[in-house]
Structure 1
Amino acid sequence: MRNGNPDTLPTPKDPSGPCPWCGRVSNFRTMHPMWDLNDDWGKGKDHRASPLTCMGCQRVVLVVVDGEDRGVMWWPTPGASGLDPEVDERVASAYVEGMRCLAIQANRSAAVMFRSALSLYVKDKGSEAAKAERHLKTALKHMKSDGDLHPSLWDWADHLNQLGNEGAHPEDYDEVTTEEAKALSSFVRHLIRSEYELPAELTRARGLATEVGGSQ
């Protein structure tokens, strides 16, 4: 039996890890044969695609691996599903599109979409003064001073704004690296979690507790 790492996404060589469909850590059943991809897609590298079946939800995940069997792309896009329905629709859409860009290593496009998610968050949660600002950095300063943006998120939000500008104007800035794009995705996910999902879960839990208490 192969020793798998449950913290990394599944591959045919290590068929265990978080499922992009259900989000649970699971074992996967490999499905053969693997498909060879043309050199144009793989930029001259020996890329292959393999379907894996999650033993939890029984849905199929498509994995692209390189010549050393390292995963380079997954479908559906990891992290792009399972958002709480209370997340603002426009914020969720921008985040999901950013994750899809990240999955194909389109780092500049990913940075632009994550910045868009942050801008849409301001439009949804910011004060009237913040919403009226033309420049995102100034709007974020309003949210910080108003107490609508937690201080621990301010530095990250400002950094995300800068990298989003780099993605939109590559002629004026340095390249957005994969590590930077991944860090931005993590920040936006934390923002969504803290500003939308946790409050929604607490509201639902409070309502359930009230119902249980009232029935006793």
Structure 2
Amino acid sequence: MIKKASFLISNTDYKKCPAPTKPEFAFIGRSNVGKSSLVNMLTGNKNLAKTSGKPGKTQLINHFMIDDNWFMVDLPGYGFAKVSKSIKNTWEKMISDYLTNRDNLVALCVLIDSRLDPQKIDLEFITWCGQHEIPFILVFTKSDKQGKSKTFANVAKFLEAAREIFGEDPQYFITSAQTTDGKEELINFIEAEVQEYYDSLK
């Protein structure tokens, strides 16, 4: 489990991000998918990432140091943020530059709203990740907002759509920031990947 989490730095340019000396896990998703709430739930610090009911709150690449051992990165959401087209284009370039240039990025956690049928924008984004060989996992959020059968049905639909793109199911987790469902499984996955990262350097 995460014992210590602290904010490091915010940037608009991947070149100014912390030196890539530690494994990195980034979190991204459609605007208002519950990204900041998930980051806060995983770290046990409800004030770590700024949460807002207003889409587009996260506008920078935000780095957090976790247990002095790995970086957690909160990225701007994509999609429905009410911002100008020029700002949206700037965000998209900032995100794509970051994702394609961080050699220490172990996994991109792509957040998917479990209340919804598969969204075109999410499928387009994971397709882009596949095309650019960016390692990603799916993290379904807000699983507490409807019954389990509805959650599982929506997850199954998304996995089926993803299977059509990739020929296999991406690794995935089902979470709730409110009930902490999925917290242990997701942190265990990250910690195992962190260990593997350091082992590979030996």
- Alignment TM-score, normalising by the size of structure 1: 0.26
More strand by share: 2
* Larger RCO: 1 or 2 (CA < 8 Å, sep 6+): 2
Q: Which one has a larger percent helix, Structure 1 or Structure 2?
A: 1
Q: TM-score, normalised by structure 2?
A: 0.27
Structure showing greater radius of gyration is 1
